[in-house]
Each structure stands twice: as structure tokens, then as C-alpha cells.
Amino acid sequence: MIRYNLTDKKVNPPFEYILLTGSSYCDYYLYKEDELEDAIMQLKAESLKGFATARICRKSFRNYDRTWDVEEFFSIDWNGKLRYEDCPDLGLHIVFYINAGAWLNPREEWIKKEEV
């Protein structure tokens, strides 16, 4: 299992969107700002697998404690219809979601090599 290496809630991660699959394993995909269409296509694919709770969240900065959280951006209903969230719910901090599951689309440039 690969996880994105993010341990501090105050670090600005290089990705803009996190797609939470809705599976019981809390797995996720990470996307850059210009890859929203790819994230939406993957969200539709996840809904075909039966994960109607899959959603795309974008990172959100909280000024009062200077941490990065997520807010729901797009979700998909049981009929496969894409929904844009006008008033998104603020989720937990990004580190929680990163540590909860596996990273399903790892990128070499984002993987930090550990020195032995």
C-alpha cells in the first residue's frame, strides 16, 4: 500500500483535488489543478463500481489555525448524476484522509524518497 507522505496539517500539498473512493478502505486519488476532468472521469468510474459515496474534494485553507482541510466539491448520486456542491461541507484535515487509505494513482514526482 502506498500513501502520500504528508505528516503536517500546515503544509500546502502539491495537489488540488482528492477523490475519495467511498470504499471501506478510504482509498483516494490525487489530482493537480488542471486535472479536474480526469478526476470527474474517475469519479464516474467509481460510481459504476457501486461506490455512490465517492466524491471529489478540494483543499481548503483555514485561516484561524493555518491548516489545510478538504471541502466537498463534486459528488455523484445513485443514478450516476454528477452534483456540484454549492455550499460544501468542510471535512477533516487532509492528513486524516491521506493516512486513512491507500494512494491509487501515485506519481513519481510526489513520492518522497526516504534515505536509508
What is the chain's pLDDT, residue by residue, as a tens digit (116 residues)? Answer: 677 888 888 889 999 999 998 776 788 999 999 999 999 999 988 888 876 678 999 999 988 889 999 998 898 877 778 888 888 878 888 888 888 888 999 988 887 654 43
Instruction: Give residue limits of the domains in the chain.
Output: 17-108
CA distance 20 to 28: 5
> What is the Cα 53 distance to its own chain's centre?
13
Q: Within a 10 A sphere around the Cβ of 55, how many other Cβ atoms?
A: 24
